[in-house]
Amino acid sequence: MRAGTKTADVVARAVATIAIVATIVWVLWFQKGALGYREFGVNGEQHVEATTSLTAVVVSIFGVGFFCILIRARRRVVGLQVAPLWCRYIARVVDLWVFTFVFANLTTLVPLFVEERRTGSFRWHFERDYGTPSDWLMFLLILAGVAAMAAYFVLPLANGGHTIGCWIMRISTVNLDGRVVALPLGIAFRWAYTEFTELFSPFSLWKIVRRRDVEQPTSHDRENRLLVVRY
């Protein structure tokens, strides 16, 4: 990799990291109301709340576009330095946050527009302590969320690309020869599911906390004859 390309690569990752941290700060300290759309009960009463903003929607659209680019952004991996568990763990935590932020802000537009038709005025945030017939949308959003999350983690594997978290942490899934591979959808789905269950298991977290996170393939890596490496 040429020096100019390498510098641009580092800058791009730094900008993306700053943007992700900024979304966390915004949601925790500056956003009015909870993230996205939710229904909950308080003292036997149904409460409904929806929150987003124009800025959050624009950032989320950029996030979707960037993800679409990374899906097919294959890289040649030089060397087989196995990624430690802490690196993979951080990448997946970043992925979970990015997905949650983008999905919540974009899908919240649906209940906001439905509420506009009901009340006659559009607001980026609403909260009410009673239910309406349109609240069944929550069930559809949950189903859409499950499908979208599966697609977020499976499609990059199926196309030999990266999720945003893996791209930031510079990790990639390769075969034993070091070549980035595009897995069949069924294998990619099973790989992603197994990686999550093993990576977030108490044993793996204990190894990370106790700093016994050796750079070795996990059991499901060896089973599938694949490696997660840093490049």
The Cβ of residue 23 has, within 10 Å, a number of other Cβ atoms equal to 22
Quote the CA–CA distance of 153 and 231 in Å, as a whole number: 20
Q: What is the mean pLDDT of residues 25-33?
A: 88
pLDDT value of residue 110? 93
Q: Is it the case that residue 43 has pLDDT exceeding 80?
A: no
pLDDT value of residue 77? 64
pLDDT value of residue 147? 96
Q: Is it the case that residue 3 has pLDDT exceeding 60?
A: no
What's the pLDDT band for 203 if we cut at 50, 70, 90? confident
Quote the CA–CA distance of 147 and 19 in Å, as a whole number: 25
pLDDT value of residue 226? 82
Encode pLDDT of 132-188 as tens digits. 888 888 888 889 999 999 999 999 999 989 999 999 999 998 887 778 888 999 989
Residue 30 domain boundaries:
3-230
Asked if residues 85 and 199 have their Cβ atoms less than 8 Å apart, the reply is yes
Which phi and psi angles does 225 have, rounded to 5°?
Answer: 55, 45
What's the pLDDT band for 32 if we cut at 50, 70, 90? confident
What's the pLDDT band for 5 if we cut at 50, 70, 90? low
pLDDT value of residue 27? 92
**β-bridge mates for residue 120, sequence order:** none
The number of folded domains in the chain is 1
pLDDT above 70 covers what percent of the chain?
92
Print the SS3 string covering 8-23.
Answer: HHHHHHHHHHHHHHHH
Q: Which two tokens stand for residue 166?
A: 């893996």
pLDDT value of residue 66? 96
Averaged pLDDT of the chain: 88
pLDDT above 90 covers what percent of the chain?
52
Residue identified by tokens 């909260």 is 127
**β-bridge mates for residue 45, sequence order:** 42
pLDDT value of residue 114? 92
- Please give the biggest Cα pair distance in the chain: 63
pLDDT value of residue 59? 96
